[in-house]
Amino acid sequence: MAKLNPNYRKLSAGYLFPEIARRVREYSAEHPDQTIYRLGIGNTTEPLTPTILQGLHDRVTALGERGTYTGYGDEQGEAELRDALVAYYAQRGVTLDPGEMFVSDGAKADAANIQNLFAQGSVMAIQNPAYPVYVDSNVVAGRTGEYDAAAGAYAGLRLLEGSPDNGWFAAPPGPEQDEQLDVVYLCSPNNPTGAVATREQLQAWVDYARQHRAVIIFDAAYAEFIADPELPRSIYEIEGARECAIELTSFSKFSGFTGVRLGWAVVPYALRTEDSEQGELNRMWNRRQSTFFNGASNIAQSGGVAALSEAGQRESRALVAYYMENARIIRSALRELGLDVTGGDNAPYLWVRTPTGPDGQPLGSWDFFDQLLREAQVVVTPGAGFGSAGEGYVRFSAFGHRENIEAAVQSIRGKLRLPER
């Protein structure tokens, strides 16, 4: 008799984005003539740039000819792309080896799969709020107990609470806390808060991890949105990180590859756990990828090589600049209305505190979501969907066509009824 994996039943309240879609559908059905402005899902909207298109086209052409056709490639990624990734890190003074690069079909799957490297009893620490895959993959892998709605947490998971006081980036446990975390997920620039860890904040985590032989899973999917040269874009810019950190990153947000699909993980040779030798985790991830994954699309990989060329990077930076101008437009409009906005200066997300409701209390995330939808027809993402610490906030995404961003902002300015200041 087959039995299902009971851990799926622990997943709380379904997935966030289907619930948003349901509410929008319901509203649209009641108001079929209203235009809806979507500032919710973090999905790119602007077309691929010429250099990248050329790379993709050339590979398609090559696949159509007997002399240049290729089938399965290396599971770790094509050598040309791994070399280009090494050169990309070298631009920032970070020296890595092609054997430490694992090309994938995106950072989300890597983020879900990476926990598989660690012992079942490991203490997993995850930022609150966070991109949902870190929590959900650990739930499905059976590393947690049930969801405790009152606590807003799964039994057995350690949450690193974000708040305005710590700039939405919790510090590691101090020496007086003497707490052992084994695997720590950090995302910077952060989805959903738009917060970026400073060099000092990351150094504190790297120091903690080295001292406690913990491993940091560093999600750098938005690294290229960092404009401030003082802020680290890779955890390997931090002294000692190679011994204790895996970096996950992606072409999705930098080069508009959300639909093309391409990312990479860095698993350094120097990385170790308490019970492993140097190089063992790198070999384990290689074994895992070789067994469970047949490599990223070769067409996508040629697109990635093109994206990392000098022209490709220049064009990708222009794409990022376009979205960051959107962020600036949204931020200045929301601030003019008196809303409390953070993020959006080194990340494509703005994190907005909900205004006061009729009863004088701050609105809940979903209440402000509903108000924005009903009054201004603007769809955002409720902060509570990213974890209990996101309650009282919503996320605005800066991905969108400029004219839609401007129309959304105008609708908010004209129609949203906020309490008197």
Ligand X SMILES: *Cc1c(COP(=O)(O)O)cnc(C)c1O
Q: Can you read off the two tokens belonging to residue 15?
A: 């997935």
Return the range that interacts with ligand X (CB under 6 A); candidates 90-98, 105-113, 280-288, 400-408.
Answer: 105-113
106 binds ligand X (CB under 6 A): yes
Selected binder of ligand X within 115, 128, 144, 250 (CB under 6 A):
250
Report phi then psi at 35, rounded to 5.
-80, 135
By beta carbon distance, the residue nearest ligand X is 106
**Separation CA 279–CA 394 (nearest Å):** 42
Q: Is 304 in the site for ligand X (CB under 6 A)?
A: no
Which of 253, 272, 331, 395 is close enough to bind ligand X by CB under 6 A? 253
In the set 37, 89, 118, 131, which binds ligand X (CB under 6 A)? 131
Q: How far is the CB of 343 from ligand X (least distance, A)?
A: 13
- Name the amino acid, one letter, at 143: R
Tell me: does residue 289 bind ligand X (CB under 6 A). no
Say which residues have a Cβ less than 8 Å from residue 172's Cβ, sequence separation at least 6. 181, 184, 204, 205, 207, 208, 209
Nearer to ligand X, 316 or 377 (CB): 316
Residues 14-43 that bind ligand X (CB under 6 A): 42
Among 77, 132, 263, 400, contact with ligand X (rule: CB under 6 A): 263
**At 113, is the secondary structure helix, strand, or coil?**
helix
Residue choice 44, 115, 122, 191 for contact with ligand X (CB under 6 A)? 191
In 3-state terms the chain splits into helix, strand, coil percentages (rounded to 5) of 45, 15, 45
Give 35's DSSP letter: P
Compute the least distance from the CB of residue 162 to ligand X, in Å. Answer: 14
Task: Report the residue number, 106 or 355, with the smaller CB distance to ligand X.
Answer: 106
Q: How far apart are CA 109 and CA 114, in angstroms?
A: 8
Q: Give dist(CA 83, CA 311) in Å, integer.
A: 17
| Burial environment of residue 4 by CB neighbours within 10 A (0 to 12, 13 to 18, 19 or more) | exposed
| 167 φ/ψ sector (left φ>0, alpha ψ -120 to 50, else beta) | left
* Alpha-carbon separation of residue 92 from 75, 247, 249 (angstroms): 27, 15, 16
Q: How far is the CB of 328 from ligand X (least distance, A)?
A: 20
Footprint (CB under 6 A) of ligand X, residues 314-373 = none
**Nearer Cβ to ligand X (131/154):** 131
User: Between residues 223 and 238, which has the closer beta carbon with respect to ligand X?
Assistant: 223
Nearer to ligand X, 296 or 412 (CB): 296
402 token code pair: 């400029």
The footprint of ligand X on residues 194-233 (CB under 6 A) is: 219, 221
Contact pick of 82, 108, 143, 212 for ligand X (by CB under 6 A): 108
The answer to whether 159 contacts ligand X (rule: CB under 6 A) is no
* DSSP letter for each residue of 274-317: TT--TTHHHHHHHHHHHHH---S-HHHHHHHHHHHSHHHHHHHH
> What is the C-alpha separation between 221 and 189, in angstroms, rounded?
8
Q: How far is the CB of 253 from ligand X (least distance, A)?
A: 6
Which tokens in the block code for residue 188?
């910077």
12 lines the binding site for ligand X (CB under 6 A): no
Size of residue set near ligand X by CB under 6 A: 14
Q: Which part of the chain contacts ligand X (CB under 6 A), choosing from 44-52, 157-165, 250-258, 413-421?
A: 250-258
Under rule CB under 6 A, residue 258 binds ligand X: yes
Q: Map residues 42-81 to x or -, x wherever contact with ligand X holds by CB under 6 A.
A: x---------------------------------------
Q: Is 386 helix (H, G, I), strand (E, B) or coil?
A: helix
Chain residues that interact with ligand X, rule: CB under 6 A: 42, 106-108, 131, 187, 191, 219, 221, 250, 252-253, 258, 263
